[in-house]
Chains A and B, each alone.
Chain A
Amino acid sequence: MTTTLAGGRAARRQTMRRIRPRRSPATLLLLAVWAGAVGVLWLWWHNTPSIADQNGKILNAGRITGLLAGYLMALVVLQMARVPALERRVGSDRVARWHAMSGRYTLCLVFAHVFLIMWGYALQAGKTLSDIVQQTIDSVNQLPDMGKAAIGTGLFLLIGLSSIGGIRRRLPYDLWYHVHLLTYAAVFFTFWHQITTGNDFALTPIAKTVWYGLYGTVTALVVWYRILTPIRLNMRHRMRVEAVIEETPGIVSVLIGGRKLHRMGAEAGQFFRWRFLAPGMRFSSHPYSLSAAPRPNMLRITVKAIGDHSARLRELRPGMKVWAEGPYGALTSQRRTRGKVLLVAGGVGITPMRALFETLPGAAGDITLLYRANTTQDLALWDELAKIADERGARLMYAVNSPDGERPDISADSLRRKLPDIDNHDVFMCGPPGFAQSVYEALRGAGVPARRIHHESFEM
């Protein structure tokens, strides 16, 4: 049994506007971050007229790493505050990757800072590196807020270890996630010693104000966008499961109803983070893309039932409450720069592509969808796609393995043959990482510039 949703002509009409490609604010943001880093280094520079000797160098290196770590830590938390400007303009996947990279770097700075400062203190008191442990114990006991800082550092160590690739893969996702949430506590505990023990903050009172401002702002944003906004969203829209439909064996669609869902401003290509308030699913939240244009009273997601969470979706019953956060994601028609668009979907990556296929404005012949799956059985939502292609005059192509398991040829040549003017297309892609990588290379080989290839991937 398959669901058939009527073509979204109405939805398309609403989104008929001039193609005005919006540049991602990523470059500007990176510049601002570097400017802040320079400001932080200047603070140290201004407060340090000279360095007496080698011992002083080590202590000051500890100070610099401490200042940078304190600054970056606020930004690391900010990236995960789900600020719409980041999630929708830069893209949730890209921000998550930045967060992973900057998080690892910042933790390294934290540990370097602890080591260097304690060594520096030991040297200053006429001791040596071997006394560093005792020096650490003494400092934690005697300096203000250092007890808290020690607890925070211990938490950071735990969080850092749990996120090392090899260890993370062995942990169940929910365990890893809850350990990671301790970051908020770790940041809280380590914040105070910066203000009260930090040399540069004692010497420059305005730096204290700036620090409180920075951390205060980040805290406010986290509370607003991660706690208050979802509460308001869910109270306003009251989403519930309407129906659960098995599209093909192993692929399940969930229809979600609610009030005034169009007011959430979701666009085709975006996703929500869903939490189903059913036994066993309450405590985990997973991102799934909308697989059809959002309607005022209905949203649809289509999920491949692998992994313990998605398999459970079959057990959902109409009426069960849904807690959603979003909309997130930057893989929308706003990224478009050309009249012609190629949509490439691999496996369950068809979901956002199916939504875009329905709503991307375009004349007959402008839109093409290439759907790659293992077998024709796995081409989920095919009937709908065919219907949309028919109505819109869009092209629909599929690529499956041959009966003896041979993979289809998706290369620069075959793409150019199918679409001679492919280098004048915008390409939207969604699929497993290996697939996305090889298609990317094929597209580049066929002459599509990198800036016209739009892609979303949550691989870290």
Chain B
Amino acid sequence: MHPLKKNRPLRRIVLASAVTASGLVLLLALKPHTTPAIAVAPAPASSNSGTGSGGSSTTGTKTVTGDTAQTQWGPVQVKITVKSGKLTDVTVLQSPSENPRDQEINSYALPELKSEALAAQSASIDTVSGATYTSDGYRQSLQSALDSAGL
């Protein structure tokens, strides 16, 4: 634009705001609303490098403890319950809880991670917003537990 063309600052401001706002709305709207469920094919009984300790087997139910994942905020470790080849429960054994913020994050992040894991039946779950490191650690520990359990 030639610098001497009539300068209309108000028009520029309105245009910039409108484009930014509509761009944001568009980007957000284009994302799907539910977490995609990923089907997991059952793996052979002998799994790969999972050093998690196997648990007791009671009529098709077994519990497996995953590795401790170290995150910036502290360790995360989960224990899974598997019934007839299906993931039925995830318990958190360790999670960062040093300060009130960590506890606050855990209070909403852990339940959400658990429900996502059960829905996806795998460790391919989304990060919970605002709980980046906890989600990362959760995923790692969960994956190692799943590997040990042969899922």
Binding site for B on A (CB under 8 A): 41, 44-45, 47-53, 56-57, 59-61, 64-65, 93-94, 97, 101, 105, 109, 120-121, 124-126, 138-139, 141-144, 199, 202-203, 436-437, 440, 450, 453, 455, 457
Does B48 touch A at the CB level, under 8 Å?
Answer: no
Binding site for A on B (CB under 8 A): 2-5, 12, 16, 20, 24, 27-28, 31-36, 72, 99-101, 104, 107-108, 126-127, 129-130, 132-133, 136
Contact of A41 with B133 in the complex, beta carbons under 8 Å: no
- Name the A residues within 8 Å of B27 (CB-CB): 41, 44-45, 64
- Name the B residues within 8 Å of A60 (CB-CB): 28, 31, 129
Closest to B116 in A: A52
- State the CA gap A61–B31 with chains docked (Å): 12
- State the CA gap A353–B135 with chains docked (Å): 65
- State the CA gap A371–B90 with chains docked (Å): 84
- Name the B residues within 8 Å of A94 (CB-CB): 3
Contact of A450 with B2 in the complex, beta carbons under 8 Å: yes
- State the CA gap A144–B96 with chains docked (Å): 15
- Name the B residues within 8 Å of A125 (CB-CB): 104, 107-108
Interface pairs A-B: 8 shortest CB-CB: A142-B101, A440-B4, A202-B132, A50-B32, A51-B31, A59-B129, A450-B2, A57-B28
- Name the A residues within 8 Å of B24 (CB-CB): 61, 64-65
Contact of A56 with B129 in the complex, beta carbons under 8 Å: yes
- Name the A residues within 8 Å of B99 (CB-CB): 142
A sample of 15 cross-chain residue pairs with beta-carbon separation below 8 angstroms, ordered by A number, consists of A49-B31, A49-B32, A50-B126, A51-B28, A51-B32, A52-B33, A60-B28, A60-B31, A60-B129, A124-B129, A125-B108, A138-B101, A138-B104, A144-B72, A436-B4
- Name the B residues within 8 Å of A61 (CB-CB): 24, 28
- State the CA gap A41–B24 with chains docked (Å): 10
Contact of A142 with B100 in the complex, beta carbons under 8 Å: yes
Expressed in whole angstroms, the minimum distance between the Cβ of B98 and any Cβ of chain A is 10
Contact of A457 with B126 in the complex, beta carbons under 8 Å: no
Task: Knowing A60-B28, A105-B16, say if A49 contacts B36 (CB, 8 Å).
Answer: yes
Expressed in whole angstroms, the minimum distance between the Cβ of B104 and any Cβ of chain A is 6
- State the CA gap A61–B104 with chains docked (Å): 22
Contact of B3 with A457 in the complex, beta carbons under 8 Å: yes
Closest to B128 in A: A124
Expressed in whole angstroms, the minimum distance between the Cβ of A437 and any Cβ of chain B is 6
Task: Knowing A61-B28, A138-B101, say if A203 contacts B34 (CB, 8 Å).
Answer: no
- Name the A residues within 8 Å of B12 (CB-CB): 101
- State the CA gap A49–B128 with chains docked (Å): 11
Contact of B2 with A49 in the complex, beta carbons under 8 Å: no
- State the CA gap A142–B133 with chains docked (Å): 14
Expressed in whole angstroms, the minimum distance between the Cβ of B108 and any Cβ of chain A is 6
Expressed in whole angstroms, the minimum distance between the Cβ of A199 and any Cβ of chain B is 5
Expressed in whole angstroms, the minimum distance between the Cβ of B89 and any Cβ of chain A is 22
Task: Knowing A49-B36, A124-B130, A202-B133, say if A455 contacts B4 (CB, 8 Å).
Answer: yes
State which of A52, A141, A453 has its C-beta within 8 Å of the C-beta of B2: A453
- State the CA gap A230–B145 with chains docked (Å): 62
- Name the B residues within 8 Å of A120 (CB-CB): 129-130
- Name the A residues within 8 Å of B132 (CB-CB): 199, 202-203
- Of the candidates B3, B100, B126, the one having the most CB atoms from chain A within 10 angstroms of its own CB is B3
Closest to A50 in B: B32
- Of the candidates A47, A94, A142, the one having the most CB atoms from chain B within 10 angstroms of its own CB is A142
- Name the B residues within 8 Å of A142 (CB-CB): 99-101
- State the CA gap A203–B129 with chains docked (Å): 12
Expressed in whole angstroms, the minimum distance between the Cβ of B102 and any Cβ of chain A is 8
- Name the A residues within 8 Å of B35 (CB-CB): 49-50, 52
For the complex with contacts A45-B27, A60-B31, A142-B100, 19 further pairs of A-B residues with Cβ separation under 8 Å are A41-B27, A44-B27, A47-B127, A49-B35, A49-B126, A50-B34, A51-B28, A52-B34, A56-B129, A57-B28, A60-B28, A60-B129, A97-B3, A142-B99, A199-B127, A453-B4, A455-B3, A455-B4, A457-B4
- Name the A residues within 8 Å of B34 (CB-CB): 50, 52
- Name the A residues within 8 Å of B2 (CB-CB): 450, 453
Expressed in whole angstroms, the minimum distance between the Cβ of A352 and any Cβ of chain B is 16
- State the CA gap A57–B31 with chains docked (Å): 10
- State the CA gap A146–B99 with chains docked (Å): 16
- Of the candidates B31, B35, B136, the one having the most CB atoms from chain A within 10 angstroms of its own CB is B31
- Of the candidates A56, A61, A124, A199, the one having the most CB atoms from chain B within 10 angstroms of its own CB is A124
- State the CA gap A382–B28 with chains docked (Å): 64
Expressed in whole angstroms, the minimum distance between the Cβ of B69 and any Cβ of chain A is 14
Expressed in whole angstroms, the minimum distance between the Cβ of B130 and any Cβ of chain A is 6
